[in-house]
Structure 1
């Protein structure tokens, strides 16, 4: 056998080996690759890395982020934590609820563990002793809101898209929605929770969901400037963010999309029952009111009633108390009909026509509602 043949064979063997090794690696690092955790400059950087799935959050990602967040919080060399998403389309489009629904139907533990550990992470972000900066560029919904809204700083761009669309899938605005939504101006949070209304770009900042607004093309420069800080304080970090915010000119003078409707929103959602809210919207009869009515009428009646009570109770609770309440609600929803039907209609069959049970608001009794809010005893979420 000639030397070059030997060489060719050897190279092909080497190549095969490299490929096999890579395959083994990718099997192994698949879960690890879904979220990247790196120390850069003065910061710990969390990168959500599932661009194909719009960086949707799953349990293995939660299980990687939580201990690392706790480590960085204790590390004297880490001065801030940055969280961002890959791919430009989404920061994080929500939790991986399809997997959760499938697990709940198969009686697997994932539906208990996912919500429990996700809410523990939401709380850890809220109580984090290090400044936490979320770059909420692109779609930020549900679970993605939970990863950002409880931190010190949230930076929106003109491509940000915020929504809490859970009532459309037989769920409720969780991840601490019962805490932050009723604390937005007036009854804006109630409106967003009921209708799943989408806020875009600078409106995410004006609504109070983001703390800063930056042009998307400046985002990587902003990040580099944050990483280059030497032992920064929270004030130093705020100064950098403020500088970028002040220089941003995109939609600077554009009025808030809901500006002209805020007074009406405040009066509609001051009603004490979902039935009253609907009646008031019907009586109003304006095109904006009827548009919202149309959206609300598509939602799960059970979800609407749960959500109103969740926000009313949450308005005077601490975040931990809210998350404990929401964990009870999440588990009741897993055992009910509407969540699985919502996932089927929106994510699996995509026919967008869920058959809710009960189908009418009046069929959702106070007793049904009380059962959703009942303590889980030793299974309650504890911090």
Structure 2
């Protein structure tokens, strides 16, 4: 079988464990609609099957767990508006299915885990990071916002670290992920095969197995700047956040990162984090994400951001508007408005 004809998702049963492996390594396992539907089918088939006691989600290849959703086609409007709606509808249904899954889901954050990859990992009960883990929510760099349930898990991280991650697209390694609770356990990549075999052999107690085998990830680099993060990113506006950043090298780096992001996306993202902090259920978060995603995906900044970062790779997006001061609060608020009742997001039964 040639690489192009291999399935992009490999779902198997090993003993009493269901195993889902992402198999699109050349694209860093970026999620397509077909992949999302394949993962969903496997999870639904195993949800009420008494023979399956645990689910593991990992990947084939060595380059990364999942770099996010395959957004190039969405930005180029391939398939039109219906394709955009279908992608977000089913991706968010999958995120919610994992979050509410009645059996333990163990996801292995071995390599790049960004955007849609975080949407697979973060709703899982157990999240194992390796030394190769590289976690980020980079959506504001492409004129979008941290979605896939980030409105639930980012505001609930310690202090204002989730706001910082959302607005700067900061990248974290394993030690920081473990320190903040993004990962639940750390294991070196060389130990993963033995760990997975142990879970397959003892699927009734993955938490116990992980607790016994987990190792120390080392000191978290984020620790020295947590106070600065909390002080600056607790401000009510992007402009106030920028003014509150310390003047030393770290603060200047955060200001520079924010300056490269879409001004409109930054303001939408800050509002999204504050709304998410008060939302009572993951389903409510996903419904809000869906409204925002459909509207932002149709705006200039999304297409321009994907062009600049992914297609042409010149990293010189021409944002509209190009300045924070020109972003209308009313227009930002409109991104969150309810859709017609027949078009709202709904969870799987």
TM-score (norm 1): 0.88
Query: Take 1:266 and 1:131, find their aligned partners in 2: how far apart are those partners?
Result: 33
Q: How does 1:58-97 map to 2 (within 5 A)?
A: 58-97=32-71
Confirm or deny that 1:347 pairs with 2:306: no
Q: Which has the larger radius of gyration?
A: 1
The answer for the alignment partner of 1:4 in structure 2 is: none
Q: How does 1:321-336 map to 2 (within 5 A)?
A: 321-336=284-299
The answer to whether the 8 Å contact 2:115/2:148 transfers is yes
The one of 107, 125, 132 equivalent to 1:152 is 125
The one of 240, 252, 258 equivalent to 2:222 is 258
The answer for the alignment partner of 2:15 in structure 1 is: 41
Deviation string 1:48-73 (CA, Å, 9 cap, x unpaired) is 00010011110000111112101101
The answer to whether the 8 Å contact 2:20/2:39 transfers is yes
The answer to whether the 8 Å contact 1:103/1:109 transfers is no
The answer to whether the 8 Å contact 1:157/1:202 transfers is no
Helix, strand or coil for the counterpart of 1:84?
A: strand
How many positions carry a matched residue from both structures? Answer: 345
Instruction: Give the 4+ runs in structure 1 shifted more than 2 A.
Output: none
Helix, strand or coil for the counterpart of 1:91?
A: coil
Deviation string 1:209-230 (CA, Å, 9 cap, x unpaired) is 010001110000000011112x
Q: How does 1:1-383 map to 2 (within 5 A)?
A: 29-30=5-6, 33-103=7-77, 107-229=80-202, 232-233=203-204, 236-245=205-214, 248-249=215-216, 251-252=217-218, 254=219, 256-281=220-245, 284-317=246-279, 318-377=281-340, 378-383=342-347
**Structure ranking higher in helix proportion:** 1
Query: Take 2:162 and 2:108, find their aligned partners in 1: how far apart are those partners?
Result: 21
The answer to whether the 8 Å contact 2:30/2:69 transfers is yes
Query: Take 2:121 and 2:174, find their aligned partners in 1: how far apart are those partners?
Result: 16
Query: Take 1:371 and 1:146, find their aligned partners in 2: how far apart are those partners?
Result: 25
Deviation string 1:23-80 (CA, Å, 9 cap, x unpaired) is 8xx88x55xx000000001100000000100111100001111121011011000000
Q: How far off is 1:137 after superposition? A: 0.3
Deviates more, 1:145-154 or 1:361-370: 361-370
Q: How far off is 1:108 after superposition? A: 4.3
Q: How far off is 1:103 after superposition? A: 2.4
Helix, strand or coil for the counterpart of 1:90?
A: coil
Query: Take 2:277 and 2:334, find their aligned partners in 1: how far apart are those partners?
Result: 21
Q: How far off is 1:285 after superposition? A: 1.1
Query: Take 1:73 and 1:107, find their aligned partners in 2: how far apart are those partners?
Result: 33
